[in-house]
Chains A and B, each alone.
Chain A
Amino acid sequence: MASRTYRGPLALTLALVVALVVSTGFQATAQAPTPIRGGTIVVAIGGDPPHLNPHFSTLPWVWMVGMAVHGSLVRLDQELKPQPNLAESWTVSPDYKTYTFKLVRGVTWHDGKPFTSADVKFTFEEVASKLNASGPVLLGNLERVDTPDPSTAVFRFSRPHPTLLLYLDVPLTGGLLPKHLYEGTDIRRNPVNAAPIGVGPFRFVEWNRGDRIVLERNPNYFRKDRPYLDRVVFRVARDPAARVVALQNRDVDLILGYDLALRDSIPIRQSREMKAVFNVDRAISGQWWIGLNTSKPPFNDLKVRQAIAHAINKSFIWQRVFFGLGKTSTGPISQYLGPQYNKDVPKYNYDLQKANQLLDEAGVRRGAGGIRFRTKFTFDGTSAEFSRIADILKEMLAEVGIDMTLESFDFNTWFDKVYVKKDYEISRGRHITGPDAVGAMNIEFHSKNTQPGQRNYYFYNNPEVDRLIEQGMVETDPPKRLQIAHQLQVLIMRDLPVIFLMDTPQPNAYRSVFNGLDNNPYGAQRLEDVWITTR
């Protein structure tokens, strides 16, 4: 009886839902806009790039020009899955030591010369693995690239490299370079770095340093339906407020998250003419944290580090500095990195009583004026967010008797003090946790990476973590590798060399008439898919 009673309304509801879904679907299909060809996009960039070779810079502006001009074997989609690009297909040997790429045939460089496997060999053997700063870390085990024919490139590694495909997009190590223009030259000083010739969707036109970089559509691009835009202009706009005003005035069309202060994204989000879209740049998965120098007392004491973690009210920082954007961090891997993130790690909630208790147990008791110990927070004052975080941290740590003075420098001096000389006690960090969690943790937390210029400036040293990282780096079974990534996050949170503050996606701000943006997991935008609704 009961089923008969409910069957009528249920059926009616279902019918309505189905009708709604179907009609919405049809409507969506009917209204799905067709990309339009033509137009110009003006991208505001916050500084003058040194050159336009993505192998020699980690600046997103250089990456973005690189993706537009240079081209790559594969491209990562938003889910971090490698998609064919100039390599139309590939096979991987079971031991992950050999990758065979089949290249798209008939592709030419912007100067008309044919693109072949010799270019791939030259790029990876002579530039990516040797001259690129990330090369020794990401491609260090590359033995050689064989070229059995002009459209086949075979990468051979001395050890398994299960994550190679994640590093073959333009950012970091993947940008392809023309052998015929670089071979036999001083590659770092080659003029082509400032007037690049690539195989990408846009051709380089001109670069007026300090003012603009201009690209135009490559009519011979191998993807015949791309790009949509005729022209791309990167305009240097150093002042953050003036950049936003330029966007409001339609003088520029796009500001990358890298160049957009979070507070400036709020009025943009409230505008109809502009969008501030939080690009889930998974490959980078940015994180803000503070690093503790575990080689110096009292930070060599786990209880002191735990006490500091308990004394910091992350929600307050999230609201006051990040305006409720992004998420408070729970561990060394960003929540935006997908399945590689592990939420089941030791937690350190805001708890002043616990913080005081831990400091007492560590033997750092309150002295005159209620002060337990004095320390310094070393940061670069060029970041508005970290300047505010520094002020807030000072107040918060004072609550538990830690007297922290603030030591602010320009970026270069800060980098030299912290990364190179390791002359600090507490410092700021803004790091990337992807695209491969084990690889990112290798760079940040392996004890071998504590030398000048390397990123383990906390002097974190846990043999178990080192062992797991080394195992994970060559693990070819994805579930096992994932398990190792999760285990590492637990161990690092247990040891706490770093207080993880925020997982922040980068808001890209752009005029609403532009479509196809927010399509790149590296924060920099892939412009070949971008088109304008109205011109």
Chain B
Amino acid sequence: MAVYVARRLAQAIPLVLAVIILNFLIVHVAPGDPVNILVGEYGSTPEFRERVRREYGLDQPLPTQLAVYLRRVLRGNLGHSLYYNQPVIRLILERLPATVLLMASQLVFALIVGVSLGVAAARRPYSALDNASTAIALVGYSMPVFWSGLLFILLFSTTLGVLPSGGMSSSREQVQGIAVAWDVLRHLLLPAFTLGLVNLALYVRLTRASMLEVLSHDYVRTAWAKGLAERRVIRHHALRNALLPVVTITGIDLGRMIGGAVLTETVFAWPGVGTLTFTALQTRDYPVIVGTFMLVSVGVILANLFVDVMYRILDPRIQYG
């Protein structure tokens, strides 16, 4: 297993490099210019524009800029943001805790509720519970988060007044100690629920379909025939195998986690990596765009590796060469 993991990690290096080069070229040939944001709209001179371009090294030919960037990345330096004038790594690390908190919370919520509902629905297909879970899945998946988010804000924040409408912590009160955790939790509930609802739909449908298939296999029928308790049949025999596709999707979600969720972060004013990337795209902040894309690709590669390892744990028959 260790050899397999090491080999996969070694294979990932050229892949990450290819992603960096591709992203670097794409964002640089895309229309727009970071200088437009750096000088502003209020009538600057062409000389001033050129001076700013020179100051930021944007006057260099693209291959030179790429070579400089790659040299920096190999030294562990993701460069300097053009918009914020801050090291890219610092900007990403500042936003990462908020992103991981939001994405992990919604994933845990979606996974626990989604798999539970999926199993229950598969156990009693076409029952009221199954129909209800299908309805929840359809509504959850088809409602865009910027819309469902606003509806939840109107319900829980404006009408009921039980949860704050946005942000990661209170603006007016200065909370300290354990109250900080409670404050963050109150702010986290709505965005995590809104985002989790979309993924929940996916997990419900996936688990249900997978469980229905597994429950029809001979070995499950044998387990029933042996007189095993329902809980044991479902948990130990059926669910374990039915979870493989769920693990695949979870792995992809885990990998994408680092990229944040632009729409949810926007609606709930959540200060995550998603809105950082969005701002970077708007302002053509090349180093931040390439930096976040690189981290997302590293995240996806590592998550896929994690998924492959999980397969082995869930299904000992799987062997890696």
Contact = CB atoms under 8 A, between A and B. Distances in A.
Contact of A443 (B43, B165, B167): B43
Contacts of B40: 57-58, 133-134
Interface in B162-191: 164-168, 171-172
B158 A245 contact: yes
A211 B271 contact: yes
B218 interface: no
A134 B39 CA distance: 9
- Give the interface SS of chain A, mostly helix, strand, loop or mixed: mixed
B58 interface: no
B272 A415 contact: no
A242 to B, nearest CB: 5
Interface string A218-244: 000000000000000101111101100
A48 interface: yes
A134 B269 contact: no
B32 A251 contact: no
Interface in A184-217: 188-189, 193-194, 208-212
B150 A133 contact: no
B84 interface: yes
A246 B46 contact: no
B43 A242 contact: no
Contact of A249 (B33, B47, B165, B279): B165
A24 interface: no
Interface string B82-100: 0111100001001100100
Contact of B165 (A51, A133, A251): A251
Interface stretch (A143-151, A285-293, A448-456, A462-470): A448-456
A143 B83 CA distance: 31
A189 B52 CA distance: 12
Given A48-B275, A133-B48, A236 B269 contact: yes
- With most chain A CB atoms within 10 A of its CB, the pick from B158, B165, B267 is B165
A409 B31 contact: yes
Contacts of A412: 31-33, 36-37, 282-284
Contact of A233 (B45, B46, B171): B171
Contact of B31 (A233, A413, A451): A413
Contacts, number: 166
Nearest to B263: A239
A417 interface: yes
Contacts of A415: 32, 36, 41
A212 B172 CA distance: 11
B36 A236 contact: no
B49 interface: yes
Contacts of B49: 452-453
B167 A211 contact: yes
B173 to A, nearest CB: 9
Contacts of B166: 237, 242, 246, 251
A420 interface: yes
Interface residues of A, number: 56
A42 interface: yes
Interface residues of B, number: 55
Interface in B3-49: 31-33, 35-49
Given A136-B44, A453-B44, A242 B269 contact: yes
Contacts of B283: 50, 412
Nearest to A246: B165
A50 B267 CA distance: 21
Given A134-B43, A239-B146, A252-B171, A416 B95 contact: no
B269 A454 contact: no
Contacts of B172: 40, 42, 233
Interface string A472-499: 0000000000000000000000000000
B44 A137 contact: yes
A248 interface: yes
Contacts of A246: 165-166, 269
Contacts of B48: 133, 136
Contacts of A453: 35-36, 39, 44-46, 49
B266 interface: yes
B154 interface: yes
A172 interface: yes
Contacts of A411: 282
B203 interface: no
Contacts of B45: 136-137, 451, 453-454
B268 interface: yes
A48 B86 contact: no
A58 B42 contact: yes
A58 B41 contact: yes
B276 interface: yes
B36 A137 contact: no
B44 A210 contact: no
22 contacts: A48-B276, A51-B84, A133-B39, A133-B43, A137-B45, A209-B91, A209-B276, A210-B276, A211-B271, A235-B167, A239-B267, A239-B269, A242-B153, A242-B266, A245-B165, A251-B167, A409-B31, A413-B31, A413-B32, A415-B41, A416-B36, A419-B41
Interface of A: 40, 42, 47-48, 50-51, 56-58, 133-134, 136-137, 172, 188-189, 193-194, 208-212, 233, 235-239, 241-242, 245-246, 248-249, 251-252, 409-413, 415-417, 419-420, 432, 443-444, 449, 451-455
